[in-house]
Chains A and B, each alone.
Chain A
């Protein structure tokens, strides 16, 4: 146990040693250059703390501004992502299991996913004004495709023998869906979900930058830039990076748990 942990720590140290080195070089270079556009990391960190992490410990140090910016942004992002996941999986599995349906909608899907999602922002602005609906619509439209396409793929290529076994043993339609098709398609579906989660973060920011939002992390990014608060701007960028990293890591934890059978079964083959 301790040996394994020691090994893991050493592995982590080996992988992460470049981070402090890069930060240190950056700090030194920024101080030497004294450019307004490239503040040193220490200044960025200080500004970041002042902006968002100066709140009371009971609130995880989040300031009022942080709550006012993070909550709407994350709410829209997760809301949009969840909607897209539900819709994408439901539609995708239906298309994957029905050749007739696939024949009708395949060309539409190919066209729909070819449209870069930000190009629809002007349309959504006209439709929904600049409120949350516009941002959610942008996120949903942008992230539904990886979920949809992967769900179609996963459901389409369920092993024939799995399906025949289900038929022979008289599983009901609902059982076939929940006990056979969804688990069999899960590895593919999860790949789509993970991709769409990182896309959701990107589109959250894009929608806030382009849609004249009045709150949110993207709005803050624009606001700091317009007020020539460059440490604040850099801080927001760094914060988004950290957020993306955290989202992906937490998703991986869930995925590993859910698909442990898949990982371990693959290893024994």
Chain B
């Protein structure tokens, strides 16, 4: 489904240049949910933006379904972290969800039906006529997820999708992702800086190093499903994996941050 081959990206040039990606290799088979974790500022978002065709990487290649990505692929959707800027405040929730569906060749009635279905899937059928800014943060992010679902992508990218909501909402949204994934057969790449989250929702956790990022580890998550916020997190296997990822992200000396970097954070 997705192949990332020796992907490198450098912002700027000369002495000011910042190497974000230092040669990433990643292959995601159809239907998998991969979580990508790494220290803050390690280039996770650059990786996602390269896959989405929003950034033209300076080296290497991204292929979706075998075809090199030059512009945004047809059946790819993104859920951004900043829902308040990603949803359009001048449109109702329904219109936000239905807007991308013109491209799918649906007429007005079919677009409305599809939007209503997607909103029902995230539990927001009653909010269709509201505006995004009338909803709480968690609900807005649900709208963004509904928009992606209605679009029926085969590859869904999520860029720290739950980074701006409170803990309770976060857990609800994690379970929502797991639930919708069961219904719609989708490949999902979820970027997060939350180690617990990556182990909880992922089939697989890919750990990146500090910038210039490379893949530090690629771990299978062998936890029984369906996952449960309390039960799953108590399992010895969960705790063990969580610690392992944790060590990989910040535990080892070569990945640890220098004091000056901590100041910057």
Which residues of A approach B to under 8 Å, CB–CB?
Answer: 159, 161-162, 164-165, 167-172, 175, 179-180, 183-184, 186, 261-262, 264-265, 268-269
- Select one of A161, A261, A269 contacting B82, CB under 8 A: A161
In the bound assembly, the distance between CA atoms of A269 and B52 in angstroms comes to 30
Chain B 80-116, CB within 8 Å of chain A: the 1/0 string? Answer: 1010011011110000000110110000000000000
Query: Would you call B131 and A264 a contact (CB within 8 A)?
Result: yes
Residues on A with beta carbons closer than 8 Å to the beta carbon of B131: 261, 264-265
23 interchain pairs (CB within 8 A)? Answer: A159-B85, A161-B86, A162-B88, A164-B78, A165-B78, A165-B86, A167-B72, A168-B76, A168-B77, A168-B78, A169-B99, A169-B100, A170-B100, A171-B99, A179-B99, A184-B88, A184-B90, A261-B90, A261-B131, A262-B89, A264-B131, A268-B134, A269-B133
Known: A164-B80, A168-B52, A261-B89. 19 other contacts (CB 8 A): A161-B82, A164-B54, A165-B88, A167-B71, A167-B72, A168-B78, A169-B151, A170-B72, A170-B74, A170-B100, A171-B100, A183-B90, A261-B90, A261-B133, A262-B89, A264-B131, A265-B133, A268-B134, A269-B133
Query: Would you call A175 and B102 a contact (CB within 8 A)?
Result: yes
Residues on B with beta carbons closer than 8 Å to the beta carbon of A269: 133
Query: Would you call A165 and B90 a contact (CB within 8 A)?
Result: no
Residues on A with beta carbons closer than 8 Å to the beta carbon of B85: 159, 161-162
Residues on A with beta carbons closer than 8 Å to the beta carbon of B54: 164, 167-168
In the bound assembly, the distance between CA atoms of A229 and B33 in angstroms comes to 85
| Chain A nearest Cβ from B21, distance in angstroms | 19
> Please, how many residues of chain B have a CB less than 8 angstroms from a CB on the other chain?
26
Chain B 155-166, CB within 8 Å of chain A: the 1/0 string? Answer: 000000000000
In the bound assembly, the distance between CA atoms of A102 and B261 in angstroms comes to 38
Query: Would you call A171 and B90 a contact (CB within 8 A)?
Result: no
In the bound assembly, the distance between CA atoms of A170 and B80 in angstroms comes to 16
Instruction: Name the residue on B nearest A186 (C-beta).
Output: B90
In the bound assembly, the distance between CA atoms of A184 and B86 in angstroms comes to 12
In the bound assembly, the distance between CA atoms of A175 and B86 in angstroms comes to 16
Question: Which one of B86, B89, B91, B147 has the highest number of Cβ atoms from chain A below 10 Å of its Cβ?
Answer: B89
Please provide the chain B residues from 38 to 82 with a CB less than 8 Å away from any CB of chain A in the complex. 52-54, 71-72, 74, 76-78, 80, 82
Instruction: Name the residue on B nearest A170 (C-beta).
Output: B103
Query: Would you call B88 and A180 a contact (CB within 8 A)?
Result: yes
| Chain A nearest Cβ from B165, distance in angstroms | 16
Instruction: Name the residue on A nearest B104 (C-beta).
Output: A170
Residues on A with beta carbons closer than 8 Å to the beta carbon of B72: 167-168, 170
In the bound assembly, the distance between CA atoms of A60 and B38 in angstroms comes to 74
In the bound assembly, the distance between CA atoms of A59 and B147 in angstroms comes to 54
Instruction: Name the residue on A nearest B134 (C-beta).
Output: A268
| Chain A nearest Cβ from B109, distance in angstroms | 19
In the bound assembly, the distance between CA atoms of A262 and B131 in angstroms comes to 11
In the bound assembly, the distance between CA atoms of A175 and B80 in angstroms comes to 21
Given A162-B85, A268-B134, A269-B133, are A262 and B103 neighbors across the interface (CB < 8 Å)? no
Residues on A with beta carbons closer than 8 Å to the beta carbon of B91: 179, 183
Residues on A with beta carbons closer than 8 Å to the beta carbon of B147: 169
Instruction: Name the residue on A nearest B99 (C-beta).
Output: A179
In the bound assembly, the distance between CA atoms of A162 and B77 in angstroms comes to 14
Instruction: Name the residue on B nearest A179 (C-beta).
Output: B99
Instruction: Name the residue on A nearest B87 (C-beta).
Output: A165
- Select one of A161, A179, A186 contacting B80, CB under 8 A: A161
| Chain B nearest Cβ from A120, distance in angstroms | 37
In the bound assembly, the distance between CA atoms of A265 and B92 in angstroms comes to 12
Instruction: Name the residue on B nearest A259 (C-beta).
Output: B90
In the bound assembly, the distance between CA atoms of A159 and B133 in angstroms comes to 16
Residues on A with beta carbons closer than 8 Å to the beta carbon of B77: 168-169
Residues on B with beta carbons closer than 8 Å to the beta carbon of A262: 89-90
In the bound assembly, the distance between CA atoms of A261 and B86 in angstroms comes to 16
Residues on B with beta carbons closer than 8 Å to the beta carbon of A159: 85
